[in-house]
Chain A
Amino acid sequence: MTEEPYRWLEAIGNRREYVREQLKGGSPVFAAPSPEGILLLGVGTGHSKVFELFDRHSLAGLGHPADIEKIRQAAIDAAHLEAFNRAPEDVSLRRLVAFGLSPQLKTNFEQIFSAPFLVELLLAEVAVEPGQDLIARLHFDGAFQLHGKGVVVAASQPEAELAAQTWLNQSLGPAGKAERSEVVEILLQGWWCLTENKPFDAGLPSEAERRDGWRKAANGRNVEVGWLARKGSRRARYEELTLAQLGL
């Protein structure tokens, strides 16, 4: 098959379709920078979706739990080795994604006789100053985009993901909101609209509907909120927050 280029292209196309189909229905995840740090959010049904990677780094993803786990472990291994051999300050998200995870995902995706990774990921790095924060949107085929500002969404459908991201950025403003509970409230409204296939244009449900909607939909599910604090006395800046802590 690989000797015939057109069949290889066809196989890759089929593979892309297969991955998208498998990811359909995956619960989206969010990363929102703010003046005090970066907030990550995911809503799951048992398996974790938001993780600490290193001192100033975290990951959120949707997809097959075993595949998320493989990527998470690879990122943790790489970050700790880098920190040990050089220094914790040398662990950078750009290098981790561009030279570590992305090539691995691309290679795996193009090896058409092995199972592809069923993942869509967000990786975040909190910096000393808000303008230097970095959020990476990493796709199952190794493609990635680096975002220096604004909310970033990872969802299974690219069009809906872009629409949700645009709406969330308009709602939270260019610098992000300082109050974490406010950020989580808006992200959960966005999550509900995405999972319920609501439009983000003129047909967007009212705020009351959105507030009511996410509460009902999240009932019985696990809302995970990860917080990367910009300042702190300890090197590890990641903290898990509960909705009760946030007053929601």
Chain B
Amino acid sequence: MSDPSLIASDFFSLLARHHVSPLRAAVSPDAPVQTQATTVFAFHFADGVLMGGDRRATAGNIIVTDRVDKVLELDATSLLAIAGVPATAFEMARVLETSFEYYRRSQLQSLSLPAKVRALARLLRENLPMTMQGVGVVMPLFAGVDLTVSPPEPQIYFYDPLGAQFHAVGYAASGSGATTIRSLLSFQDRYGRPRPTQMNLQQAVQFALRLLMTASEFDSATGGVNPEAHTFATIKVLRSSGVEDITADRQAELLKS
């Protein structure tokens, strides 16, 4: 790609100028067993977009932790859900978070949704050498608010590991449990009463938790949800007005009621 230092008010360019770009490291042929983070999903419901994920990270057959937050708030109108290698994914999230805020503060306006979507695609493309070698593969989901329509609408995007971006009309899922979750979302979207887009917050949260419970029955890398052990998911809701974090206590309360 061309010299990134040519792009004005772009945080990646600022990083490159100071030689601190974090995602351009050389790859060792003797890569260790990678830690993987799965499973994440997003769907439209009546209030906006719900983005959720289990909290498990694995390395081979080892459970590294059951306390990972895979749904991250990048700014007041953007969410990122990470599936894949956390080392790369968290770094991408950090770059994007700083980049969006840097642009907003320096230019006194927010970055547009298409520009945010492309910024993530650009990071995935820059990660191509790692992806091609089978290490550092990331397949994220992105949700942002489209401010060019009235009223503003939250949108969902998903990516392939090479950086291709796709607009998800109703829902998207990524990670090892994604097959189960996509099947359930597809079923509910076609035959469900209510359909995901008709669900209120309580119904959407209950549905999200049950998606993870089901996915964890078929995929050992998906952490699942265990109300008895107070183990819940990471769930954030994106509305046109901003982001709301649905805490574990709130999830417990919504699941019971």
Residues of A bordering B, CB below 8 Å = 48, 51-54, 73, 76-77, 80-81, 83-85, 233-234, 236
**B98 & A77 in contact (Cβ 8 Å cutoff):** no
Residues of A within 8 A of B98 (CB): 80, 83-84
What separation, in Å, do the CA atoms of A222 and B101 have in the docked complex?
Answer: 25
Question: Is the interface on chain B under 10, 10 to 19, 20 to 34, or 35 or more residues?
Answer: 10 to 19
Asked if A85 contacts B20 (CB within 8 A), the reply is yes
Given contacts A76-B106, A234-B76, contact A81 B101 (CB under 8 A): no
* A80-B101 CB under 8 A given contacts A48-B108, A73-B106, A233-B245: yes
CB proximity to A under 8 Å, residues B9-27: 11, 14-15, 18, 20
- CB of B90 closer than 8 Å to a CB of A: no
Q: How far is the CA of A76 from the CA of B14 in the complex (A)?
A: 11
B: residues with CB less than 8 A from A are 11, 14-15, 18, 20, 73, 75-76, 94-95, 98, 101-102, 105-106, 108, 245
B11 CB contacts on chain A under 8 angstroms: 80
- Give the CA-CA distance A162 to B18 in the complex, in Å: 41
Count A/B pairs, Cβ under 8 Å. Answer: 35
**Contact B20–A84 (Cβ < 8 Å):** yes
10 pairs of A and B residues whose beta carbons are closest in the complex: A80-B102, A84-B98, A76-B106, A76-B105, A52-B105, A80-B98, A85-B20, A73-B106, A81-B18, A77-B14
6 A-B residue pairs with CB within 8 Å? A51-B108, A76-B105, A80-B101, A81-B18, A81-B20, A85-B20
Q: Is A76 a contact of B102 with CB atoms below 8 Å? A: yes
Write out the residue numbers on chain B whose beta carbons fall within 8 Å of the beta carbon of A54. Answer: 105
Residue of A48, A53, A84, A236 ringed by the most chain B CB atoms within 10 A: A84
Q: Which residue in B15, B73, B75, B245 is a CB contact (below 8 Å) of A84?
A: B15
Expressed in whole angstroms, the Cα–Cα distance for A158 and B245 within the complex equals 48
Q: Report the minimal beta-carbon distance from B230 to chain A, rounded to whole angstroms.
A: 22
Residues of chain A lying within 8 A (CB to CB) of residue B102: 76, 80
Q: Are B101 and A84 in contact (CB under 8 A)?
A: no
Residue in B20, B98, B106, B108 with the greatest tally of chain A CB atoms within 10 Å: B106
Contact of A80 among B14, B73, B75, B108 (CB under 8 A): B14
The chain B residue sitting closest to A72, CB to CB, is B106
Q: Assess the A236–B101 pair: CB atoms within 8 A.
A: yes
- Chain B residues closer than 8 Å to A51, beta-carbon distance: 105, 108
- Cα separation A144 to B13 with both chains bound (whole Å): 31
| Nearest chain B CB to A87 CB, angstrom units | 10
Cβ contact of B105, chosen from A48, A53, A81, A233, cutoff 8 A: A53
B72 CB to closest chain A CB (Å) equals 12
A67 to chain B, nearest CB (A): 16
- Closest residue of A by beta carbon distance from B73: A234
Closest chain-A Cβ to B66's Cβ sits at a distance in Å of 24
A162 CB to nearest chain B CB (Å)? 31
Min CB gap B80→A, angstroms? 15
* Complex Cα spacing A61 to B94, Å: 31
